[in-house]
Amino acid sequence: MGFLDKLKAGGDATIGVSLEPGDVTPGAEVVLRVDVGGDIDDKCRAVRAGITCTGHYLVKERDRDADGDVDVDEVWRTVDIHEEAHEFPVAVGPLQAHFTVPPGAQPSSEDAVEWTAWARIDREKGRDVVERLPLPVRFGPDTMPAERPGDPSNEGLTLLDVPAAVRAGEPLTGTLGVSLADDAKVTAARIRLHRRRTYVADTIEGVGVSGGQSLVADLFLGGGASRIVKDDEVTEVDLAGKRSFEPGQSERLEFSVAVPADAGPSTTHQHGQVDWRVEAVLDRRMRGDLSVEAPVVVF
């Protein structure tokens, strides 16, 4: 590597970062430990350390091809939500930067909200030396709703004892109550866990994670706003195979669904939202399925 290449690549200076704690809740303090090493040349001006929060969302873009036909593509966009940084003199050795995650901070969630801790050596007329770490921000259980206002019911199906919130990596338990007006022959009874991402092009102000009512119903479907919805079926559990349900008879089927440890929790920002729901389905051959669902906050 030549002299000019070293200038562009950052010389021989190095920087390392670590976080304490690994996971944080809104309102908590974060300590970013930075270790500056290597050879500091005269291009190094300062060491900066910070935390940032970025919102990710999809928009529809229309363009015309060479034949004049309109193509519609989904394109990722970002919005800056929060940034805080401290500056230090350049010197080899360790240093610490202390930050407080805002009390109303949105939790980290893939393809929606990204928190990052970073440190950088600023170099004049050369490439900065940068290291980044993901900063997992999650709600604590004490901020979650303890129970839901009622048991969702539809077409003779009722979801009973389903918690309003569940931690990622833990089981979601409940009971499916079945009390049908007509007999039903089903091929299977299933429980499904869905993660839904909703993106809008227009800015929505004053949004927050809701413990029961979906923001999609409150805001995202109003005003004719352009939106993109991605519904991912995360988990499916069979409660029963081929069988019949008699009219006027009540049955209860208990269930437990594993919420993945790496599940992107419920979150929201000005252009997007992640929400979860649990769905019970009776599959019927040659007839429409019966189903009932309930929103769940994953934290």
154 and 127 in a single domain? The answer is: no
Question: In this predicted structure, what is the pLDDT of residue 225?
Answer: 55
Q: Are 130 and 119 in contact (CB under 8 A)?
A: yes
CA distances from 172 to 7, 110, 117, 237, 278 (A): 54, 21, 31, 12, 9
Other C-beta atoms within 10 Å of 61: how many?
A: 12
- Give the dihedral sign, CA 163/233/214/159: negative
Query: At which of 104, 134, 164 does a domain end?
Result: 134
Do 126 and 147 belong to one domain? Answer: no
Poorest-pLDDT segment among 4-18, 134-148, 204-218, 274-288: 204-218
- CATH, residue 104: 2.60.40.1930
Domain harbouring 194, CATH code? 2.60.40.640
Q: What is the pTM of this model?
A: 0.83
Nearest Cα to Cα of residue 45 among 15, 6, 90, 91: 90
Q: Which of 17-26, 79-88, 200-209 has the highest mean pLDDT?
A: 79-88
- Total domain count for the chain? 2
Among the candidates 111, 134, 157, a domain finishes at 134
The domain in which residue 111 lies consists of 3-134
Residues in the chain: 299
Residues 54 and 167 in one domain: no
The β-bridge relationship of strands 250-258 and 267-269 is unpaired
Q: Of 110, 134, 158, which residue constitutes the final position of a domain? A: 134
Distance between CA 119 and CA 173 in Å, rounded? 42
* Residue pair 254/161 in contact by the 8 Å Cβ criterion: no
- At residue 8's C-alpha, the angle toward residues 7 and 11, to 5°, is 45
55-72 residue pLDDT tens: 999 999 887 777 777 788
Residues 93 and 161 in one domain: no
Q: Mean pLDDT throughout 150-167?
A: 94
Give 215's DSSP letter: H
Whether residue 64 sits in one domain with residue 96: yes
107 with 163, same domain: the answer is no
Tell me the per-residue pLDDT of 162-216, one tens digit each, with 9 for 90 and over.
Answer: 999 999 999 999 999 999 999 899 999 999 999 999 999 887 665 544 333 344 4
pLDDT surpassing 80 at residue 53: yes
